[in-house]
Amino acid sequence: ALVSIFGDDSVLQFGGGTIGHPWGNAAGACANRVALEACVKARNEGLPIEKMGREILTEAAKSCPELKVA
């Protein structure tokens, strides 16, 4: 998980993941933001995001249709 490797003080580039979203760029940006925020929140709560990444993102996608589609 990039959050574990680079921490909060980093710049992450999501180019193709954002532009390639089936609903367009804005939806891709939304999906990326929600996914990253969910991972940071899980890390801050002490969850092992490397092992629970799929579960964390699946849970986040329940409230974000853009992430669910991605």
Token representation of residue 9: 């003080």
Domain spans of the chain, in order of start: 2-69
At 1 the pLDDT is 67
For the entire predicted model, the pTM comes to 0.86
Token representation of residue 46: 């002490």
Do 36 and 14 meet the contact criterion of CB atoms below 8 Å apart?
no
- For 15-58, write each residue's pLDDT tens digit: 888 999 999 999 999 999 999 999 989 999 999 999 999 999 99
Give Rg (Cα) of the chain.
12
The whole-angstrom separation of Cα 39 and Cα 28 is 17
